[in-house]
Amino acid sequence: MKAGGAELKRLILGLRLVRSLKIDENHTLLLWAAVCGFLGALATLGLKYAMGLMLHLFTGSSGGFVAAFTSIPPWQRLVVPVIGASCCGIILQLGKTYSNKSGADYMEAITLGDGIVRVRSTILRSVAAMFAIAGGESIGREGPLVQMAALASSAWGRLRHLPPARLRVMVACGAASGLAAAYHSPLGGAFFVAEIVIGSIAMETLGPLLIASTVSALTVQSIEGFDPLYLFPKFSLSSASDILAYAIAGVAMGLASVLWMKMLDSSKPLFARLKLPLWGRLALGGLLIGLLAMRHPEVCGNGKSLVQEVLADNLALSALAMMLVLKVVATCISFGSGAIGGVFTPSLLIGATLGYILALCLNFAHMSIVPSEMALISMGAFLAAAANAPATAILMIFEMSMQYNVVLPLMVSTVIAYATARSISHKSLYSNSIKHGARGVLDRPMAEIQVADMMHKDPPCLRPQATFKDVAKAFLKSPRQEIWLRSANRFHGCIQLSEVGPFLADAEFAETVLASDIATENVPTLSAKAPLPDAFKTFANSPLSRLPVMNEQGEMIGEVTRADVFLTISELTRRG
Amino acid sequence: MKASQKSQAPIIGALQLRMSATCTEDALRALGAEVSAFASINPDAFVSAVLGREREASTALPIGVAIPHARIAELERIVVGLGIAPKGIDWSGQEVHALFLMAVPTSQATAYLMLVQRLAKLLRDKQRLDELKSFKDEEECRAWLAKYMNLALE
């Protein structure tokens, strides 16, 4: 009895804390966001290490793509991309044969789907990506890393039986954590998902994203350190004439990004015209990459080490121009042949190289500008224009370089690049993923979405005969405003925290009180088949934060929260 | 759903300081009739609801005090009846000398909990419990209830 009393005291202390901090659904969402951040970082690091192992298997080195491919003889540089790409193609082909469900890309799952990232197809695609990337394809590994982080969060949300609107937030948190871990850029990761994928930087969505990317960054920091992605010598303070040069760069990067997207877009139809099976197309792509790599191993990989070379002033103009042409061709081959991966880092490299070359031209025209500084700013401007995300570009370049002086020229250059590109085309690197995705619950008209689609199964319930101590324990176990009373699926009402909260601390003085003595009996209920607008009307007339859901037999089968109904409606409104 | 918990203070609706009943049902019927009359509710329905609640779990405390009650939808404030049984009442095997019978509006869970906790805290003090059981005069008893329980006088 004494031990039970001590346990209850502890529980009550916790409950007081929960009540005094006014913890509600939105706060628990932040907690889940933190979990997603942790899981996302682990998934990203796990896949990154697996890719490193695969690269070691192919080349006997794992120091970086360019270094690894430079260290092997030319014949091996020809063979490895063919093997890697063929394996990637075979895995994708088998995946198509054995899985009829299309695996939603994380962007689709967030923007158009219902937050479900399929486990089997994501793992298959990640393994395929490992072969393609470790095989030297000129493509970024960030895409699969972020997809894996999104999968971890989606799986976690599904384990918690979260409804679609909330599950989408979890997937978004996973993607933000993946980006934060991959680019060492927590702010940029959160803004990438908010600005590019969700299309809003409202605090309701940005808050969980920031928490997820922060936890992800902390996890990565404690496992492998968290240095800036690109080492950059001190960035000088920009004068007015420098800003003019950066404005010119903005226009140039805006135009170049449109051209770059057109090249990427036209690369896929070129390969499709060959009427080869997927594995055949990929093998051909691998062969072309291998042929290029025989003389120029620097075409292999995402180009991260090359960006560092450009920023460190290590390349001559002729080498830069050659690298730019080769990298553009190689990335179009990899992308067009269907290799799994991203074009984020290759785009950074193209922006940096173009910026460096532009600075040399401006110097020629007597405009004094440091080429490596122009390369860094142009990288951001090119990214802003290509990804349709100026805020993300500013934050990412700032975090990648850790130089405050970049902010002013970056703001000018990215905004001009963005405006220039949008005046010509509204397409972005990600518009295909965002516009053509798996259709989910949230893609239906509002009247066709039912309460069951937003329902949480198995909410915490008590029997009407439960004691007041049981009530106190239940409120502590799940911080919420209402606990349902149910016996054998029959609904009896609810106990509201606002009514009983002040008395939970002295639960032992209410030993004669049963849950049924203090229940609110006249609670509105929702039918599982009721459409979303009906649920909205019912919530509008009720002070409760959640309502019970009944089946056709009148049995309680779950609950729906006010936050989920409102979140779903706001998402549908956003999609128009 | 009613906007609950705009509670009015509970009131004393009945006082029986020398109950002769020795079993739960007799005691509840005797005190329940007065409480029902005061609260203008059906006495039979009220008493049978209280008995039904007692069958689910006894409301007797180990200190010899019982707090039986029933929830009544149409009431606006809690009506309390106090019964003192010098000979003791057999309350599900436990001897009870004082009972607080309550008719509780369904919308007043907070007021009910407050009252029950205040009662339990106060009467665990043996001196206060003995004082309560020793009252012979109704006016003195009402004054004591007003002082320690903040129960309104009617």
Structural domains of chain A sorted by starting position, each given as residue range(s) with its CATH number in brackets: 24-230 (1.10.3080.10), 240-268+298-435 (1.10.3080.10), 446-575 (3.10.580.10)
Q: Which residues have a Cβ under 8 Å from the Cβ of A249 and sit 6 or more positions away?
A: A355, A358, A359, A374, A377, A378, A381, A413, A417
CATH number at residue B90: 3.40.930.10
Angstrom distance (rounded) from CA A169 to CA A146:
15
Residue B26: per-residue pLDDT: 92
Q: How high is the pLDDT of residue A437?
A: 42
CA-based nearest distance A522→chain B, Å: 5
**Dist. CA A513–CA A465, nearest whole Å:** 9
Q: What is the mean pLDDT of residues A335-363?
A: 90
Structure tokens at A362: 């401006």
Residue predicted with more confidence, A203 or A443: A203
pLDDT digits (tens, 9 = 90+) for B79-91: 999 999 988 999 9
pLDDT confidence of A82, banded at 50, 70, 90? very high
**Coil, strand or helix at A399:** helix
Q: Is the Cβ pair A543, B1 closer than 8 Å? A: yes
- Domain count for chain B, please give it: 1
Q: Cα angle vertex A217, ends A215, A221, to 5°?
A: 115
Q: With 50 as the cut, is the pLDDT of residue A525 above it?
A: yes
What is the DSSP pairing of strand A546-550 with strand A526-527? Answer: parallel
How high is the pLDDT of residue B3? 40
Look at residue A64 and tell me whether its pLDDT is greater than 70.
yes
Decide if pLDDT at A206 tops 50.
Answer: yes
Banded model confidence at residue A495, pLDDT cuts 50, 70, 90: very high
Q: Does any domain span residue B36?
A: yes
Distances (CA, A) of A544 to A137, A281, A519, A540, A562: 55, 57, 13, 10, 8
* A239-253: average pLDDT: 91
B86 located within any domain: yes
Would you say the C-alpha torsion A247, A249, A250, A254 has a positive or negative sign? Answer: positive
Question: Does A483 reach chain B within 8 Å, measured CB to CB?
Answer: no
Give pLDDT < 50 ranges for chain B.
1-7, 154
Cβ of A510 within 8 Å of Cβ of B117? The answer is: yes
Range of the domain at B21: 11-149
Q: Is A497 on the interface with B (CB under 8 A)?
A: no
Residue A286, pLDDT above cutoff 60: yes
Please indicate, yes or no, if residue B18 is contained in any of the structural domains.
yes
Amino acid at A68: A
- Residue with the larger pLDDT of the pair A257 and A572: A257
Q: Which long-range contacts (CB under 8 A, 24 or more apart) does B118-121 make?
A: B118/B149, B118/B150, B119/B65, B119/B67, B119/B149, B120/A509, B120/A510, B120/A511, B120/A512, B120/B61, B120/B67, B121/A506, B121/A509
Give the pLDDT of residue A169: 84
Tell me, what's the pLDDT at A418?
A: 94
CB contact under 8 A, A503 and B67: no
pLDDT at A111: 59
Say which residue the tokens 């003192």 belong to.
Answer: B84
Mean pLDDT of chain B: 87
* % chain A with pLDDT above 90: 27
List the single range of A245-254, A380-389, A476-485 with lowest mean pLDDT: A476-485
Which pLDDT score, from 0 to 100, does residue B2 have? 40
- Report pLDDT for A162: 76
Whether residue B145 lies inside any domain: the answer is: yes
Write down the pLDDT at residue A18.
62
ipTM of this predicted complex?
0.89
Joined tokens for residue A420: 């220039």
* CB contacts, 8 Å: A500 with chain B: 109-110, 113
Please check whether residue B133 lies inside any domain of the structure: yes
Of A142, A140, A133, the residue nearest A81 (C-alpha)? A133
Domain contains B6: no
Is residue A179 within 8 A of residue A185, CB to CB? The reply is: yes
CB-CB neighbors (< 8 A) of B4 in chain A: 499, 520
Average pLDDT, chain A: 84
pLDDT tens for A260-283 read: 999 988 888 888 888 888 888 899
Cβ–Cβ < 8 Å for A514, A467: yes
Q: Does B154 reside within a domain? A: no
Please report the pLDDT score of residue B154 as a whole number: 47
Contacts of A495 in chain B (CB under 8 A): 109
